[in-house]
Amino acid sequence: MPLTVVVGAQWGDEGKGRIVDALAADAAAVARFQGGPNAGHTVYLGKEKFIFHLIPLGIFNPGALCCIGLGVALDPLILCQEIKDLERRGYSVISRILIDPRCHLITPDHIDRDRQMEAQRSEGKIGTTLRGIGPTFSDRASRTGIRLGAYIEKLERGDDVPFKGAFADACLCLKQYIGDVSLTLYRMLKQGKNVLAEGGQGTMLDLGLGTYPYVTASNTIAASAPMNLGLGPKSVDKVIAVMKAYTTRVGEGPFPTEISGGLAEQIRQTGDEYGATTGRPRRCGWFDGVVAKFAARVNGVDRWALTKLDVLDQLDTIKIAVAYQIEGEITEELPNNTIMLSRAQPIYREFPGWKRSTRAARKLQDLPPQTRAYLDFIEDFTGLGFQIVSIGYERKCMIML
Ligand code: IMP
Ligand code: MG
């Protein structure tokens, strides 16, 4: 810290929410910087399950101000609903949320357009979350978007606006939370306070560096955090990238280590790999070392957080891709071309399974030797160490290093 950026190293759903929740204990603020309600974060407090799409995962740490930065596409109906749900369940959000007025609004029109575009793509569909993300960011870039602060001003002046009713009411309900996130975070950092930037999606879904066009419409990498929070690039002190002990992907697009059949189904069931936003079954595959090395490089990762290691507990053999074979050539670098990536055949290294539960482990020494060999290999291969290893969905199921 002070400014720690937490990003996903794979195709999203790495468990960033849980990692942010754990780190937020020492943070004065937690800030979402990109994406929108396409994200779905699942967290458990005891047996109570919460799914958030827009609320930052600092919400369960009363000392953390939950910020929504200017780079977030905001659906006011969804955010208001999340706030109301939290209040109904006994969590007060008053003075806990700060939304930058520069956030672009996802309107009902954007959601319609997302649906229409996906329907028209038929064969080449992206498999978007249908939350209006692509059209909202394209309107922003076209300078035809609508910003939250400006819309509220219009509503209060009584100007004629295109979206009235529940949409307008939701915007007005957010008014009390509006404030300058850029300035607030700048001041906190100046005072030496800890701030966490919480990424949505993952590196391989980044608009520029991901598997274009099978990507999301925002930048998901660490460099996006200062820019989309309104901070300078030198404000970032540390980058933590979250990755699962295996890989998943929702939506279309290349996924070299994807597996199918009974083994994929076993991982899907054990890991509860169904989309938190769309309920879609996630595609499952082995850990991809080529992707991990790429994520380390393009994010400038300092440390890893590894999640869902326990999902592998009962497997006989576990694999890690260490290189790709593409059209006869062997490479350890991720191709910069989506078609080439779709032709990649992973070259695997195999590890014997440990065949026992790791959930009770609280330090590395508690893990079976086979599990530690798997972890050691990932550290050696990527050249980066772990900060957190998580072995279960409960808050306590974490090894902090
Ligand atoms: P969009 O972000 O809804 O436009 O969807 C573009 C692609 O990103 C699709 O493949 C989605 O499944 C994927 N995607 C978007 N958000 C998430 C997420 O939070 N987790 C995993 N995949 C996501
Ligand atoms: Mg998710």
| pLDDT digit string, tens, across residues 376-389 | 999 999 999 999 99
- pLDDT at residue 288 tops 90: yes
**Which tokens in the block code for residue 130?**
């249908």
What pLDDT sits at residue 41? 85
- Please, which pLDDT band fits residue 1 given cuts at 50, 70 and 90? low
**Burial of residue 187 (number of CB atoms within 10 Å: 0-12, 13-18, 19+):** exposed
Radius of gyration of the chain (CA): 21
Q: Ligand 1, from 216, 242, 273, 274: best to mutate by most atoms within 8 Å of Cβ? A: 216
What pLDDT sits at residue 189? 98
The Cα 300–Cα 284 span in angstroms is: 26
Q: Which residues contact 8 (CB under 8 A, 6 or more apart)?
A: 14, 16, 199, 200, 201, 202, 203, 205, 220, 241, 242, 243
250 touches ligand 1 (CB under 6 Å): yes
* Higher-scoring residue by pLDDT: 34, 394: 34
CA of 39 to the centre of ligand 2 (A): 5
Contact (CB, 8 A) for 229 and 181: yes
Contacts by residues 260-266 (CB-CB < 8 Å, ≥ 24 positions apart)? 263/315, 266/315
- Please, which pLDDT band fits residue 260 given cuts at 50, 70 and 90? very high
- Per-residue pLDDT of 336-362, as tens digits, reads 999 999 999 999 999 999 999 999 999
For residues 158-169, average pLDDT: 97
Shortest-distance atom of ligand 1 to CA 218: 2
Q: Ligand 1, from 16, 129, 307: best to mutate by most atoms within 8 Å of Cβ? A: 129
Angle, CA of 42, 256 and 201, to the nearest 5°? 30
131 touches ligand 1 (CB under 6 Å): yes
What pLDDT sits at residue 383? 98
For residues 28-42, average pLDDT: 95
Contact (CB, 8 A) for 123 and 105: no
Q: What is the DSSP letter of 274?
A: B
Type of residue at 217:
A
- Per-residue pLDDT of 185-230, as tens digits, reads 999 999 999 999 999 999 999 999 999 999 999 999 999 999 999 9
**Which tokens in the block code for residue 51?**
């799914």
Instruction: Quickly count: other Cβ atoms within 10 Å of residue 241's Cβ.
Output: 33
What pLDDT sits at residue 230? 98
Q: What is the mean pLDDT of the chain?
A: 96
The Cα 301–Cα 131 span in angstroms is: 29
Bond preceding residue 233 cis, omega within 30 of 0: no
Question: 209-221: string of b/e by CB count within 10 Å (b at 16+)?
Answer: bbbeebbbbbbbb
**Which tokens in the block code for residue 234?**
């030198």
* Ligand nearest the Cα atom of residue 12: 1
- pLDDT at residue 123 tops 90: no
106 touches ligand 1 (CB under 6 Å): no
Question: 166-179: string of b/e by CB count within 10 Å (b at 16+)?
Answer: ebbebbeebeebbb
230 touches ligand 1 (CB under 6 Å): no
Q: Which of 31, 33, 44, 38 is nearest to 12 (CA)?
A: 38
The Cα 318–Cα 350 span in angstroms is: 6
Residue 97, H or E segment = strand 97-99
Q: Nearest residue CA, atom 20 of ligand 1? A: 12
Residue for token pair 């060999």: 373
Q: Which of 238, 253, 236 is nearest to 291 (CA)?
A: 253
- Per-residue pLDDT of 51-106, as tens digits, reads 899 999 999 999 999 999 999 999 999 999 999 999 999 998 989 999 999 999 99
For residue 372, the number of C-alpha atoms closer than 13 Å in the C-beta half-sphere is 9
Q: What percent of the chain has pLDDT over 90?
A: 93
Instruction: Quickly count: other Cβ atoms within 10 Å of residue 368's Cβ.
Output: 16
For residues 298-304, average pLDDT: 98
Give the chain's length: 401
- Please, which pLDDT band fits residue 42 given cuts at 50, 70 and 90? confident
What pLDDT sits at residue 79? 98
Q: What is the DSSP letter of 304?
A: E
How do strand 195-198 and strand 3-8 relate by DSSP bridges?
parallel
CA of 11 to the centre of ligand 1 (A): 8
134 touches ligand 1 (CB under 6 Å): yes
Shortest-distance atom of ligand 1 to CA 130: 3
Q: Which of 113, 112, 176 is nearest to 148 (CA)?
A: 176
Q: What's this model's pTM, rounded to 2 decimal places?
A: 0.97
Active centre residues (catalytic): 13, 41
- Please, which pLDDT band fits residue 276 given cuts at 50, 70 and 90? confident
What pLDDT sits at residue 166? 98
